[in-house]
Structure 1
Amino acid sequence: MDSEIHKAARYDRQVRLWQRGGQARLEHSHVCVINGNTTSAEILKNLVLPGIGEFTIVDLKTVSDADLSGNFFLTETDVGSSIAEAICANLCELNADVRGNAVREDLLKLLNDSGFWRRFDVVVVTERIRKEQLERLEGILWPHNIPLMRVWTCGFSGAVRISRFETAVVDTHDPSPTFDLRLDCPWPELAAYADSFDLDELDDAEHAHVPYIVIYLKALEHWRKTNGSLLALPLSYPEKTDFRRNYVESMARNMGLETNFIEASQSIHRALQKTNVPASVAELFQRPETSDSSLRETKAPFWLLIRALKEFVSSSGGFLPLPGVLPDMVSTTSSYVLLQQIYRKKALEDKLTFLSIMLELHESLGFESDFDAETIANVCKNSALIHLSNGSQLNNHNNLLSRLSKSLEQSSDHNLLLVSYFGIVALDSLAEQESHDFSHFVQTFCDITRVPLQNLTEPIKNVLNELYIHNTSRYLNVCSYMGGIVGQEILKIVTAQYIPLDNLYVFDGIKSMSEKWKAL
């Protein structure tokens, strides 16, 4: 009991970000990092401190004097010992709740054991490994949808690319959510609540505290009767202006003093929000993964949730489950509490209906794993914000090459970030050669990007020259920065909250700028 209290106090601030469910997923996750270096240590530091369950470092090397440069998790006493064991031991001192493992095995040997890799939630490669080994590792992880993160630190530049077949997030924490108030299609209890207010009979104090939801419902009812439609909403700019002035503001007794009517006028977009299924979610309903045959074969929990949502929408007349969340508004406490109860009651009814559909599908399609109450609640609360993206493998550069070709016409600083990325890729491909000079490097860059040598502008050559001169992965400031970026992305993935990078990020430490792209 004392340990649980201690843990709650230690992780209090982050639990406010991703709730107890996210923290529980973090504490049950296992991340593998291939190669022990400064970037690895910085990444893992950002996972150990918030309480990741377990991490593994795979590296055969021993600590050299050069490894001490910029690595806060190695000391002089570690020289000559296993670099994986040394970094692991020093990281574990940061958090006694975390378990660390050091694996001193040849990577090629480990790649023969696919079961070794399938136990991880994320695998990170922080230093160059042979191309065929990287491809083999990706081939093991991709079918099981285990993210593979390739992280580069090259001089003052850094990059990370995520290889994952599918990324699905229910709890996206949208920074600007729209409230689902159903004002265009109120259910009977909400309509009855609005009808219970007779504005003409209220005294001035009561009139100035009528919740704007009631104001909107009465204004919409009046507008529809006037315009001869029971379903339409004001859509054009003149209609919206007319609605605000002659149907909302006109109900005020003193527009300059009644805060609730001022608030209603300023938030008019909420009254005119049409209730429907977002196109992004409707597209998911049409995906073949929701079919009976696919679900029986894959047993994919996410697609079962989508299938249940699809059936809920079909049975509810085209509506998603009501989240039941209200914005703040001017109102008496009693009126606002009663309004909250009406929305929460409807949200609970929708959740129970959704759960019933889920249980029926769960049984009929032969699923074995159960869904906890938090998952069901999150789906109902965030159904309009569900995010899904399909990724690409590391050797797929088609979209990036197309973007690069267009950007070469305008050599702006941001466009040159893609040059940095392909320059780093070119250095990777040369790493297995015994020797090479700058001209060989530039030619390799041109071969990869399919850009003729004569088309390279002076700014592009300057970027390539900078990469070639500073071809090292040990600059602490860049390693620390990339460690923060990668650590953040891993936290998104393992907590299954917020939207992870999709799927390439490049950083220029000289100009302090960055950019991201989707590589398809």
Structure 2
Amino acid sequence: MASPCPKSPEQSEKNKQYDRQLRLWGDHGQAALENGHICLINATALGTEILKSIVLPGVGAVTIVDDNIVSDEDIGSNFFLESSSKNLNRGSESLRLILELNPAVQGYAVQEATDQILQENPDFFKNFSVVIASSLGEKTIQSLSHHLWEINVPLIFCRSVGFLGSFRIQIKEHPIIESHPDNEQYDLRLDVPFHTLFDYLNSFDIDELDLKDHGHIPWIVILYKAVQKWQISNSNSWPMSRKEKNEIKEIIQQFKRVDDNGMPIYEENFEEALRAVNTSLTPTFLPVKIQELIYNSSAINLTKESSPFWIMCSALRAFVEAEGKGKLPVRGVLPDMTASTDHYVTLQNIYRNQAALDAELVYRKVQEIVAQLHCDNITETEVKLFCRHAHDLHLIKGSCITSEYQFSNTVSSYIARYLEEPDVMMVHYILLRAAEMFRSEHCRAPGEWEPESDIAKLKTCVSKLLTDISCSPFPKDDHIHEMCRYGGAEIHSVSAFLGGCVAHEAIKIVTKQYKPVNNTFIYDGASTNTATFTF
């Protein structure tokens, strides 16, 4: 009697709950999220939509800072408020219902104004992973952004008015190890095979393979053998041009077995080799963006306060200059391919073992640096992850929102350049800024009381902003009229869409995976257009 098939290991309840997101950022990403603490300033409709999409995937804790009392307008636009919430604190009421989405998340409500906290307890913001702010005045957002920039806490400032929405990410320095590029290149080293790979590839003779092995050898072997044959008549060079790669394909076609009629027999591994010619014959080199990182002054002039990222970059540079011989550590990841289990497992182990050896060398160099600097230890797991993704490291260096509000020459010329284009989304940025200015001067949103009479006042704010950046006035007032029609109201569908976007960016920052927006995102719900700008 045949033995029963082995059962798949049972998933824990937690893994079942978070199954889909674990496929995106893994166990270590989930652990980072669960150690995160998000601060939301103002539980507006946009603010609660953001928090909803952060609480559901299981962030560790959230704190809402809001001294506002729930109004009828709040209940009408905010799904996380009830009729019974009226005249109660908006932050506490919103938090109560948001936490029902995920009991594992801890929540706190602070019933104080942001300005008061900045004056009386500025250290309050130090322990947050990210601060998210909505519906703040010009003066407050500048004070908050300056303070968070000084203490190096990421800030996401967002707005939702009518059909318009935007968010601005302020982050001083954000290294990303797992950037998850759309088109990840496999690190095969076919042009410079390391010792064990060289021996494995040269253990095959395509012409001498028996019928059983012919259709089951990995396409990497076929590709390597085709290049070897091509190099005999091409001075051992490497095929780079389209013509040369077509010649490689012709050689692979010659390797194929034929039937009794002289027609090539279809074998999936040979078809895979043909498809891989254009993508997998890339020569091994040290990418320019990685050179810039490992030779950055922050990686060379290390101190006790240097982040683990720069310490690992320094160790990586030492590896590249010594054992790596100008190359990064082997990644150790293979694509799926048609091959016998024995062949594939053998090849997989060759790459994995070499990756482990390279990572071990980098880890030793990290340990030496840590011992010299007397700084916090960096684990071997962290170093292995760093080496595996060393080909796609990314660093974002941001700018402070305060400098943007002061309209430096760089910012002014940047905005002016975009405003010259027809139907550009930068117009909405000016309108949102003008609406903030209007609120600061009149203590209400444009159009909140008298839409018609506020048009001229808002136009004055727009003209002042355009004068500050040396731009001519808008040829039409259509956008100004529309902003006054909004009356400062939040449309829930716009806030829900933008809230999901902001939550994604916050999760990217907390998990240090995927590239966050750098640095301004604008959404027009009427046309469903989006745009990003970097001030």
**Residues 462 and 171 of structure 1: is their aligned pair in 2 closer, same or farther, counting only changes over 3 Å?**
same
Instruction: Report % sequence identity.
Output: 32
C-alpha distance in structure 1 between counterparts of 2:149 and 2:274, whole Å: 52
Deviation string for 1:83-113 (max 9, x for gaps)? 1111111111111111111111232221132
User: 2:20 corresponds to which residue?
Assistant: 13
Is residue 137 of structure 1 aligned with residue 144 of structure 2?
Answer: yes
User: 2:270 corresponds to which residue?
Assistant: 261
User: 1:356 corresponds to which residue?
Assistant: 364
C-alpha distance in structure 1 between counterparts of 2:319 and 2:109, whole Å: 48
Residue 246 of structure 2 aligns with an amino acid whose one-letter code is T
User: 2:84 corresponds to which residue?
Assistant: 77
Secondary structure of 1:43's aligned partner: helix
The answer for unaligned runs of 5 or more in structure 2 is 1-10, 259-263, 447-453
C-alpha distance in structure 2 between counterparts of 1:7 and 1:204, whole Å: 49
Deviation string for 1:206-236 (max 9, x for gaps)? 222221211122222223332223xx31223
Is residue 481 of structure 1 aligned with residue 489 of structure 2?
Answer: no
C-alpha distance in structure 2 between counterparts of 1:202 and 1:160, whole Å: 61
User: 1:63 corresponds to which residue?
Assistant: 70
**Residues 210 and 6 of structure 1: is their aligned pair in 2 closer, same or farther, counting only changes over 3 Å?**
closer
CA contact 2:305–2:375 (8 Å) conserved in 1: no
Secondary structure of 2:532's aligned partner: strand
Is residue 97 of structure 1 aligned with residue 104 of structure 2?
Answer: yes
C-alpha distance in structure 1 between counterparts of 2:67 and 2:271, whole Å: 68
Is residue 276 of structure 1 aligned with residue 285 of structure 2?
Answer: yes
User: 1:25 corresponds to which residue?
Assistant: 32
**Residues 383 and 71 of structure 1: is their aligned pair in 2 closer, same or farther, counting only changes over 3 Å?**
same
User: 1:114 corresponds to which residue?
Assistant: 122
Residue 474 of structure 2 aligns with an amino acid whose one-letter code is L
User: 2:438 corresponds to which residue?
Assistant: 430
Residue 306 of structure 2 aligns with an amino acid whose one-letter code is K
Secondary structure of 2:389's aligned partner: helix
Residue 250 of structure 1 aligns with an amino acid whose one-letter code is Q
User: 1:233 corresponds to which residue?
Assistant: 238
Secondary structure of 1:432's aligned partner: helix
Residue 481 of structure 2 aligns with an amino acid whose one-letter code is N
Deviation string for 1:274-327 (max 9, x for gaps)? 1111111111122110123xx215321211111111111112101111111111
Task: After TM superposition, give the deviation of residue 356 of structure 1 in Å.
Answer: 0.9
1:444 to 461, 478, 497: 461
Secondary structure of 2:395's aligned partner: strand
Is residue 177 of structure 1 aligned with residue 184 of structure 2?
Answer: yes
Is residue 330 of structure 1 aligned with residue 335 of structure 2?
Answer: no
Residue 51 of structure 1 aligns with an amino acid whose one-letter code is G
User: 1:128 corresponds to which residue?
Assistant: 136
Task: After TM superposition, give the deviation of residue 392 of structure 1 in Å.
Answer: 1.2
C-alpha distance in structure 1 between counterparts of 2:78 and 2:294, whole Å: 49
**Residues 453 and 170 of structure 1: is their aligned pair in 2 closer, same or farther, counting only changes over 3 Å?**
closer
Is residue 37 of structure 1 aligned with residue 23 of structure 2?
Answer: no
Task: After TM superposition, give the deviation of residue 399 of structure 1 in Å.
Answer: 5.9
C-alpha distance in structure 1 between counterparts of 2:140 and 2:475, whole Å: 35
User: 2:388 corresponds to which residue?
Assistant: 381
User: 2:429 corresponds to which residue?
Assistant: 421
Query: How many corresponding residue pairs?
Result: 504
1:366 to 365, 374, 382: 374
Secondary structure of 2:12's aligned partner: helix
After TM superposition, the runs of 4+ consecutive aligned structure 1 residues lying more than 4 A away are 397-401, 451-455
Secondary structure of 1:175's aligned partner: coil
Across the aligned residues of Structure 1 and Structure 2, the Cα RMSD in angstroms comes to: 2.0
Residue 475 of structure 2 aligns with an amino acid whose one-letter code is T
C-alpha distance in structure 2 between counterparts of 1:145 and 1:506, whole Å: 25
C-alpha distance in structure 2 between counterparts of 1:454 and 1:162, whole Å: 28
Deviation string for 1:102-154 (max 9, x for gaps)? 1112322211323211111111111023x333222222211333111110101
Secondary structure of 1:102's aligned partner: strand
C-alpha distance in structure 1 between counterparts of 2:291 and 2:418, whole Å: 34
Secondary structure of 1:167's aligned partner: strand
C-alpha distance in structure 1 between counterparts of 2:110 and 2:126, whole Å: 16
CA contact 2:416–2:471 (8 Å) conserved in 1: no
Residue 480 of structure 2 aligns with an amino acid whose one-letter code is L
C-alpha distance in structure 2 between counterparts of 1:141 and 1:410, whole Å: 34
CA contact 1:420–1:467 (8 Å) conserved in 2: no
Secondary structure of 1:56's aligned partner: strand
Task: After TM superposition, give the deviation of residue 242 of structure 1 in Å.
Answer: 2.2
Task: After TM superposition, give the deviation of residue 179 of structure 1 in Å.
Answer: 0.3
C-alpha distance in structure 1 between counterparts of 2:130 and 2:371, whole Å: 31
CA contact 2:245–2:278 (8 Å) conserved in 1: no
User: 1:491 corresponds to which residue?
Assistant: 507
Deviation string for 1:47-90 (max 9, x for gaps)? 11111111111111221222211211111111121111111111
Task: After TM superposition, give the deviation of residue 334 of structure 1 in Å.
Answer: 1.1
Residue 248 of structure 1 aligns with an amino acid whose one-letter code is I
User: 1:504 corresponds to which residue?
Assistant: 520
C-alpha distance in structure 2 between counterparts of 1:135 and 1:70, whole Å: 27
**Residues 465 and 20 of structure 1: is their aligned pair in 2 closer, same or farther, counting only changes over 3 Å?**
same
Residue 265 of structure 1 aligns with an amino acid whose one-letter code is L
Residue 476 of structure 1 aligns with an amino acid whose one-letter code is H
Secondary structure of 1:267's aligned partner: helix
Deviation string for 1:491-511 (max 9, x for gaps)? 111111111111110000001
Higher mean C-alpha displacement, 251-260 vs 482-491: 251-260
The answer for unaligned runs of 5 or more in structure 1 is none
CA contact 1:160–1:504 (8 Å) conserved in 2: yes
Secondary structure of 2:169's aligned partner: strand
Deviation string for 1:157-216 (max 9, x for gaps)? 100001111121101122220100000000121111112112222223322222121112
TM-score when normalising by structure 2: 0.90
Secondary structure of 2:383's aligned partner: helix
Residue 499 of structure 1 aligns with an amino acid whose one-letter code is K
> What pairs with 1:200-239 in structure 2 (closer than 5 Å)?
200-229=207-236, 232-239=237-244
CA contact 1:28–1:52 (8 Å) conserved in 2: yes
Task: After TM superposition, give the deviation of residue 352 of structure 1 in Å.
Answer: 0.9
CA contact 1:69–1:474 (8 Å) conserved in 2: no
Higher mean C-alpha displacement, 234-243 vs 400-409: 400-409
CA contact 2:519–2:533 (8 Å) conserved in 1: yes
Secondary structure of 1:449's aligned partner: helix
User: 1:298 corresponds to which residue?
Assistant: 305
Higher mean C-alpha displacement, 344-353 vs 392-401: 392-401
**Residues 454 and 279 of structure 1: is their aligned pair in 2 closer, same or farther, counting only changes over 3 Å?**
closer
C-alpha distance in structure 2 between counterparts of 1:474 and 1:132, whole Å: 22
Residue 422 of structure 2 aligns with an amino acid whose one-letter code is S
**Residues 449 and 363 of structure 1: is their aligned pair in 2 closer, same or farther, counting only changes over 3 Å?**
farther
Secondary structure of 2:487's aligned partner: coil
Is residue 46 of structure 1 aligned with residue 50 of structure 2?
Answer: no
Residue 240 of structure 2 aligns with an amino acid whose one-letter code is L
